[in-house]
Every structure is written in C-alpha cells, then in structure tokens.
Structure 1
Amino acid sequence: MKKARVIPYPCWAATSLWSANFSTLSVLILSLAVLGIGDGLIVLSGLGSTPWTVLSQGVARQTEISIGWSSFFISGVVMLLWLPLKLRFGLGTILNIIVIAFFLGITTKILPQPTALSGQIAFGIVGILLYGLGTAFYLTCHLGAGPRDGLMVGLCQHFHLKVGVVRTTLEVSVCLLGFILGGTVGISTLIFASGIGWIVQGYLNLISRLPHSLNERPDLN
C-alpha cells in the first residue's frame, strides 16, 4: 500500500518538476496570481502584513524601490540559501518568484487603501483567504516549492527539526527584521502566522475530494 501524502495529486498535477503541460501551467500561474493578490490585500488593509511581506516593506522603504521588486530581490537571496541545503527547484519555484512579486506590486499600486475599519478588516480577511487558496492550489501542481517554502522544508530535513519549530522561527525572525526596517506589523500579521497553515490544510482537504484527485502519488511508470 502506498503511503498517503499531505498534498493531493489532482488531475492537473505535474509528473515532474519541469513538466510544462497547459493545464498544469494554467493552474500554477492562476494560483500564484491569486496568492499575490491576497498578499497585496493584506498589505493594503493596514492591519499588518504577512511576515515575509513585512520584510519586503522594510527593504522597500530603506532602498526606495517598489514592494514588488523588494519581494523579488528577497526571493533571490532566499534561493541562495538553498545551495548548502542541496534543495531541488522546479518550474514552479521560478514562476513563484516572478508571478507573486508582479501581482503583489500591481495590487498595492492600483487598488485604493481602505480608510474605514470595516474596509480594512474586509481586505485583511479576504487577503488571508486568497493567500491560503493560492498556496494550496500552487502546491498541488507539484512543480517545486517557492523559495520560502523550500527553505523551510530544507531546514527541517537538514537539521531534523519539526516544521512548526522551523516555520515559527523563520516567521518571527523575518517579521522582527522587517519591523526594524520599517515594515508594518499588526493584527493581520498575528492572525496570518497562527492561522494560515490551517487555512491551507482546509483547501487541500477540499481539493483531495475533487473527482480524479488522489491522496498519494500515482504510478507514473
């Protein structure tokens, strides 16, 4: 019997890290765009950003570049940290860097920032839900993890640590550095850090119940 996997294999899942069929790429790009838009809404809510976006904000303010370019630069630096961990990247890793940064930048540029508290709360809630939705669908494409997700997995494997310990340590450290550089920390930051994992898991559970979706890797031979 094959061991069940945490991330299901829906009909659009790739057969390798560099598979490029139309359905897989379509789902991947759309899900990364949704993730980037969700991240942008969280930023615009003014109630605090995701930990990594707090760092992007801080770097952007210190260097006077856009938050999109800041996110792109940070992703590149994180990728360098993959080298000593001997991590494998795929097409999804590269598109993760480009697409998320693009839609994060576009969203924060073209949408007006809400001034009423109700609007801020709505932006924050919708942003977190979209972020979780995009994350779940991009992971089910099985084309490689994004820079930050990959770093977390690599550290867990290399040092034999639990995911919770590594993820919490990374997010707290990144958030603290971003706050020092001028990033915005607030209630959304805390909600994201404590709840995004459960939101993603919920979406993955829904995807696993779709027709033709498997909870284990199919036999590709």
Structure 2
Amino acid sequence: MMIRRLVQLYAGLFAFGMSTAMMVRSDFGLNPWDVFHQGVGDRTPLSFGTVVIIAGAIVLLLWVPLRQRPGLGTISNIIGIGLAADFGLWLIPDIASLPVRATMLVAGIFLNGVATSAYIGAGFGPGPRDGLMTGLAARTGRSIRFVRTGIELTVLAVGWGLGGTVGIGTILFALTIGPIVHRTLTFFAIRPGGSAGARITE
C-alpha cells in the first residue's frame, strides 16, 4: 500500500506542476496563488517554479504559530510542484493559436483538479497553502470558506498588482476546480486497507 500511495503522491504533484505550466502558457489567467507566483517571478530573476518553492516554504513557516504539523506530502508539495512547473514551462512553448490556448486552459484546469485529488487522496498531509487555510480557520473560529476566500483574494490582488495574469481562466478555475476535485477525490482516496475509492467528506 505504501508504494501505491507514494506513486500516487508524486504522480499527482508532477501532474499538478504540469497543469500549472499549461495554464501559464494558455495566457488566459491563473488561479490566485499562481497569479501571485507569476507576478513575483516577473519582478525578480527567479523562475516561476523557484517562486512556487520559496513561497511554499515561507507559508510553511506560518504553520508554526498555528501548531500545524507537516507531513511528507507537505514537504514534497513545496518542492515537487515547483520543479514540475518549471519543467512544463521548459517543455511547452509559447502558443499563438487562440483555439490551442483555449484547449490548453481547459485541459490544464481539469488536470489540476485530478492531480489535486491524487495527491490529497494519497494521505500524506496537505500542501502548505491548504494547511495555512485549515490552521487559520481552526485558530480564528472562522469557516474554511471564509478563510480561503480571504487568503486567495489577498494573494490575487498582490499578484495582479505585480503583473500576474488575471482573466477568464482565473474565473473558470474558481468555478470548476471544486466540482472536479469533488468528483475525482473518491476515486483516488486510499482506504486504510489499501484500496482506492474511499469516501472523503469535508
């Protein structure tokens, strides 16, 4: 079971990074955190993936006062997604064709949702940004929806101010990523006995 979980974890993180690169190349807009990562990358000599890694490490430090405990998945998330995103951006060239870019956007969002379900379903702990959200919700007594909205609006505004891409892709991501993860998470969730398909509820 451990090998199955590890393969699913790292395959999910790699797919997540690749999906991020696909959305960047579509140039239709990114999710709030990636708007921030892109904005910082545009203002520094750092690559997109390097910014993802550094931002994840800084967010992880914020776990300390929140008394959150990272797992293997948390550390792997910080490093793996950034490396995969840079690899994807190296592999996928800039695209001029509007239909191809639109297809890239839709495919990237779908792959992102599936990849999220895969690495969460492996059960090795949340990513640093998700842990920040749940930790703040627990400490403040606010709902996860309220805390997540506040965090994402903040990083979106900062990223946009730094030049990150906000557009129809940002809106489409916000509207569809939840349903995609909801539909695919039960397939990837691994039961204690080792089989997939466990039901996970929020």
Q: TM-score scaled to structure 1, two decimals?
A: 0.84
Q: Secondary structure at the match of 1:115?
A: coil
What are the within-5 Å matches in structure 2 for residues 51-90 of structure 1? 51-90=32-71
Aligned residues: 197
Identity of aligned residues (%): 36
Q: Which moved more, 1:109-118 or 1:121-130?
A: 109-118
**How far did residue 151 of structure 1 move?**
0.7
Aligned mates of 2:121, 2:199 — CA distance in 1: 11
Aligned mates of 1:120, 1:214 — CA distance in 2: 35
Counterpart pick for 1:122 among 97, 103, 106: 103
- Map of 2:150 onto structure 1: 169
Residue 93 (str. 1) matches residue 93 (str. 2): no
Aligned mates of 2:167, 2:106 — CA distance in 1: 13
- Map of 2:26 onto structure 1: 45
Q: Secondary structure at the match of 1:204?
A: helix
Aligned mates of 2:24, 2:141 — CA distance in 1: 34
Is the Cα contact below 8 Å between 2:122 and 2:190 reproduced in 1?
no
93 and 100 in structure 1: CA distance in 2 versus 1, 3 angstrom threshold: same
Residue 109 (str. 1) matches residue 100 (str. 2): no
AA at the equivalent of 1:195:
T
Q: TM-score scaled to structure 2, two decimals?
A: 0.92
- Map of 2:198 onto structure 1: 214
209 and 66 in structure 1: CA distance in 2 versus 1, 3 angstrom threshold: closer
Deviations 1:72-101, CA, capped at 9 Å, x for gaps = 110011111111100011001011111100
Q: Which moved more, 1:77-86 or 1:107-116?
A: 107-116
Greater share of helix residues, 1 or 2?
A: 2
Aligned mates of 1:130, 1:77 — CA distance in 2: 26
Aligned mates of 1:214, 1:130 — CA distance in 2: 21
Aligned mates of 1:152, 1:64 — CA distance in 2: 29
160 and 61 in structure 1: CA distance in 2 versus 1, 3 angstrom threshold: same
**How far did residue 102 of structure 1 move?**
0.6
Q: Which has the higher contact order (CA 8 A, sep 6+)?
A: 1
**How far did residue 205 of structure 1 move?**
3.6
Aligned mates of 1:156, 1:215 — CA distance in 2: 23
Aligned mates of 1:149, 1:49 — CA distance in 2: 18
**How far did residue 212 of structure 1 move?**
5.3
Aligned mates of 1:103, 1:36 — CA distance in 2: 5
Give the root-mean-square deviation of aligned CA atoms.
1.8
Deviations 1:123-180, CA, capped at 9 Å, x for gaps = 1100000100010011111111001111111111111211221111111110110011
Is the Cα contact below 8 Å between 1:171 and 1:193 reproduced in 2?
no
Structure 2 stretches lacking a partner, 5+ long: none
What are the within-5 Å matches in structure 2 for residues 16-55 of structure 1? 21-55=2-36
